Structure 1
Amino acid sequence: MTDVKFTHIGGPTVLIEVAGVRLLTDPTFDPPGRTYRFGWGTSSRKLTGPALAVADLPPLDAVLLTHDHHADNLDDAGRALLPSAGTVLTTASGARRLGGGAIGLRPGDTHELTVPGRPAITVTATPARHGPPLSRPISGDVIGFALTWPGQANGPLWITGDTVNHGSLRTAARALQPGTVLLHLGAVRFPQTGPLRYTMAAADALSLLDGLAPTTVLPVHYEGWQHFSEGHDTIADTLDGAPSALARPYTWLPLGSPHTVTV
């Protein structure tokens, strides 16, 4: 068993500390107030800033970047820290855009993170679809990450990435049997595309996790931006109202302070 510290910085940005290895997901550190373009006429305004500044971070061993082309997952300040962040793992198309030695992964690809004196962490890219069917040419490539290391007691740590619930995701989840899930939610919508969603709603998450048995589920990426249609209260109501057969040990990470999970 391993005690893992999760520090939620805001949105999808989480500092994960595993046996002395420091990982950062989707760096977003810009201040609030700016509107960012997401392409095809869509945009969103950042409403809240990060709970920690870049200067408050410890030295990083790796960044796990689910995708590079949306500012709510990689903004200007987050992009600026990448050269000092050790290994950067992201999509194959994102690695080409970023350059600088970023390592591109496609779903199913693996990469072994090695830090001297620390246990190796195997990172496997998992499938994600950032919108409705046939939206990939518009919304771009996204991946999630499954992390395994020696002595893990409860199954892999799975970071879903920005995704809707779809067949390939469900298949991957059942193959993984994750023990801990960092779950991207928020039910992203844009006025230009009406009811179409680009990330999971809480009901989608219940469906995805039905039949799985994670010991801990950590919702993230549901607050701080204009384009989220489900925030904390709506998500909590849905999760709390789920039938007992779908009940999961959901934990709301505090902003800016570490929370320890045994993985």
Structure 2
Amino acid sequence: MIRCTHVGGPTLLIEVAGWRLLTDPTFDPPGRRYAFGWGTSSTKLTGPAVAPDDLGPLDAVLLTHDHHADNLDDRGRALLPQAGTVVTTRSGARRLAVDALGLDPWVTTRLEAPGRPAITATATPCRHGPPLSRPVAGDVVGFALTWEGAAGALWISGDTVLFAGLREVARRIPVDVAVLHLGGVQFPVTGPLRYSMTATQAVEILRLVRPRVAVPVHYEGWAHFRQGRADVDAALAGAPDVRTSVRWLPLGEPADL
């Protein structure tokens, strides 16, 4: 059984096989505006549905990237030393003030602890924007998690648009549960360019990956998101082949997948 609690934004508490894993910690209160670099910024609109002190013990943090506050804010950063392991991008591991393991896409590590099955974590490719945007948007990875007895991988897409790297994930990894970072992010300074998956792209990746369950995250709580749940539901209305796999998690409430 996989139990997930959506804290808000990209932050998800995953409880599986005796492990307690947290993705992209964001726990700052709402109201502050954060600069993302190169003339881009956004305001946090809602706070976390679970306070850091109420999370309980953490075995690991899976950090898709450290350099944008909507994926790692100040209170989230303060939480990192409490995690047994922090896994992130190779460049992010060099920047963080805690000991972290940095992975390039398709590199694998194992989370091991007595009395529970090891989890194999494979970094999956992301492109956080249009072609050639990596020098501006920075490095991002997703994570595919597998363990003994799992029906398939638990895949966390990370902040990415649909591109060849995600299609490669669909070819290489059998996915049981897909956690999709959505939102269709845009900024006024870059016009129509997108920096995360749109609803239409979400439907396409679901058709490629065919997960048993798909969990949307990172579509609410910030001003730079241009597509929320209503947009995704509208796209899914025309995709009966995949819409039944989508599970919207209530914020702050554990859900068994």
Give the Å deviation of 1:177.
Answer: 2.2
Match of 1:256 in 2: 252
Q: After superposition, what is the alpha-carbon deviation per residue over 1:92-120, rounded to whole angstroms, capped at 9, x for unaligned?
A: 00000004210000001111001221111
Match of 2:134 in 1: 136
Q: After superposition, what is the alpha-carbon deviation per residue over 1:165-207, rounded to whole angstroms, capped at 9, x for unaligned?
A: 0012111222112111001000000000000000000100111
Match of 2:234 in 1: 237
- Rounded to whole Å, the distance in 2 between the matches of 1:125 and 1:104 is 9
- Rounded to whole Å, the distance in 1 between the matches of 2:48 and 2:241 is 36
Give the Å deviation of 1:248.
Answer: 4.5
The question of 1:194 aligning with 2:191 is answered yes
Q: In the alignment, which of 224, 228, 231 is matched to residue 227 of structure 1?
A: 224
- Matched-pair contact (CA < 8 Å) for 2:167–2:208: no
- Rounded to whole Å, the distance in 1 between the matches of 2:254 and 2:15 is 9
Between Structure 1 and Structure 2, how many residues are aligned? Answer: 257
Q: Which one-letter code corresponds to 1:252 in the other structure?
A: W
Match of 1:148 in 2: 146
Unaligned 5+ segments in structure 2 are none
Q: In the alignment, which of 1, 11, 33 is matched to residue 13 of structure 1?
A: 11
SS at match of 2:175: coil
Q: In the alignment, which of 110, 116, 119 is matched to residue 117 of structure 2?
A: 119
Match of 2:200 in 1: 203
Unaligned 5+ segments in structure 1 are none
- Matched-pair contact (CA < 8 Å) for 2:117–2:147: yes
- Rounded to whole Å, the distance in 2 between the matches of 1:5 and 1:42 is 35
Match of 1:59 in 2: 57
Query: What do you get for the CA RMSD once the two structures are aligned?
Result: 1.0
Q: Which one-letter code corresponds to 1:249 in the other structure?
A: S
Q: In the alignment, which of 25, 37, 40 is matched to residue 42 of structure 1?
A: 40
The question of 1:215 aligning with 2:212 is answered yes
State percent identity of aligned pairs: 64
Provide the TM-score with structure 1 as the length reference.
Answer: 0.96
SS at match of 2:98: coil
Range moving further from structure 2, 125-134 or 99-108:
99-108
- Rounded to whole Å, the distance in 1 between the matches of 2:3 and 2:32 is 31
- Rounded to whole Å, the distance in 2 between the matches of 1:112 and 1:60 is 16
Give the Å deviation of 1:246.
Answer: 4.3
The question of 1:158 aligning with 2:128 is answered no
- Rounded to whole Å, the distance in 2 between the matches of 1:211 and 1:107 is 19
Match of 2:27 in 1: 29
- Rounded to whole Å, the distance in 2 between the matches of 1:61 and 1:14 is 14
SS at match of 2:230: helix
SS at match of 1:179: strand
Cα distance change on mapping 1:245 and 1:4 into 2, 3 Å: closer
SS at match of 1:52: coil
